[in-house]
Amino acid sequence: MRTPHDSTRQSARRLGVAAAAAGLLATLLAAGPAAAIPDPGDTPLRGAVSSAQAADARAAIQSGEIPGVDEIVHSDNIEHLVNIPKDALKGTNSDLAFQGKYAFAGNYDGFRIFDISDPKDPKTVAQVLCPGSQNDISVSGNLLFLSTDSSRSDNSCNSTTQPASVKESWEGMKIFDISDVTDPKYVAAVETACGSHTHTLLPKGEDVYVYVSSYSPNVAFPDCQPPHDGISVIKVPRAAPEQAAVVGFPVLFPGKGPDGGGNPGAPTNPGVSKTTGCHDITVLPGKNLAAGACMGDGILLDVSDPEHPRVLDQVQDNVNFAFWHSATFNQKANKVVFTDELGGGGGATCNAAVGPNRGANGVYDIVGKGKNRKLVFRSYYKIPRHQADTENCVAHNGSLIPVKGKDIMVQAWYQGGVSVWDFTDSARPREIAYFERGPISADRLVGGGSWSAYYYNGHIYSNDLVKGFDVLKLSDRRTDPARRITMDELNVQTQPDYFEDFDRD
């Protein structure tokens, strides 16, 4: 299948502060990378593929059906401006956040800050070593927030791995002061149950609330006990972030017994993740709404009381969704896009065998008003370009492109690359632009590709797990109006009202 503008070819835990922050900045070359563990899906990353699959990949490259190893291809309306390879931080690249002229890039070994005032020539201004996958990252004012979801010996940036079965082990949220972006200071840490896989900021006046998403409890883990059917809520006073503390654990999936009230998973629903918490939450502060992607469930929440979010609707898709991963509202807040991370980000799911409806996005309309609002399924969207069986590829992190009257989104697909797609018609979404690299290997499955692809102030920024930081320029009459929107700050999981919160150029 060919896509529009496709002229190239046929068509991815305890409150405390580290005693010392010395050595956080760029004297990092001797540090070993933190281990990258994919999100749970139903097909883990194995590495090996059959000889037939490898032969198919090589044949597809030779025929031009897929690009060659590491070859860059893109639609005519996207220009690849620059790639900035990894530097001192050798771990897996993860999420992105933005503030003013800076991009903040998470990495399993810490985080890197770029000056993007010239998008064609980003400059590194700081690299902070602080291992603890997956280092999901957000910024608000002078504060930077970093998730730790690997069991560590303590809450410092010099910690080592330690089993979660040891009570003294730590995982949770870390907070940095970025008043001086060239020299971030570690100021606080808050331990949370089952750690922090991702987090979401909900600013409220002089405070910032942090919704901490984590999952996979185990009776052998003292600080991560089942059923773990909710989220941790942290309150952070902006003026005194060292006083940050957990203020609640709202139960989102009430139910009797050790399994709670979420999706039971297999064997009741084969191939579907059991719900034991949430993977990610997106808030829409201007509408007091949130959408939760919670393993086996998608939920719509009222967050008008930030310490007590209330579930308005709960949906499941036990046919095509394996792992509810993330959520994005449209601008009018009458739609939600949920992603299914089939295979946990480590599987080759963008092929004919898996098909167009799994490892895809689910587009849902929000119907009704007030407490009676419901999520109603409309369609699936998946990139229309098949990938090789040696490429991990599945729906992943993306953001809206702010075009008034249109619902357009840019999204990462791991080795499926970056896709720009239009879901203005909920029932008929379609791709309008793309960028991708060919497989890292034609002989074995090697994890890589775009983790996050977000639109910010006229450009698309992508954090590739392996290749580094990419900047793309999108030129298309359908998306060009977005250039009039200038944002001061963007955490994609704290979704702004683009047409009220920000100025026009």
Are the beta carbons of 197 and 215 closer than 8 angstroms?
A: yes
Are the beta carbons of 350 and 392 closer than 8 angstroms?
A: no
User: Hey, CA dihedral for 466, 467, 470, 472, is it positive or negative?
Assistant: negative
Residue linked to tokens 């587009």:
363
Residues 88, 93, 97: CA angle, nearest 5 degrees = 105
- DSSP-assigned letter for residue 155: S
- What pLDDT sits at residue 501? 63
Please list, in sequence order, all residues whose beta carbon lies within 8 angstroms of the beta carbon of residue 216, skipping any fewer than 6 positions away.
Answer: 40, 194, 224, 276, 277
The proportion of the chain whose per-residue pLDDT surpasses 70, expressed as a percent, equals: 89
Q: Write down how long the chain is.
A: 505
- Whether the pLDDT of residue 8 is over 90: the answer is no
- What pLDDT sits at residue 83? 98
**CA–CA dist 427, 421 (Å, integer):** 13
Listed residue (435, 438, 391) closest to 412, CA to CA: 435
Are the beta carbons of 209 and 308 closer than 8 angstroms?
A: no
Other beta carbons less than 10 A from residue 477's beta carbon: 7
**CA–CA dist 153, 150 (Å, integer):** 10
Q: What are the tens digits of pLDDT across the range 220-249? A: 999 999 999 999 999 999 999 999 999 999
Are the beta carbons of 136 and 192 closer than 8 angstroms?
A: no
- What pLDDT sits at residue 84? 98
- What pLDDT sits at residue 260? 73
Q: What are the tens digits of pLDDT across the range 464-484? A: 999 999 999 999 999 999 999
- Whether the pLDDT of residue 34 is over 70: the answer is no
Q: What are the tens digits of pLDDT across the range 116-165? A: 999 999 999 999 999 999 999 999 999 999 999 999 999 999 999 999 99
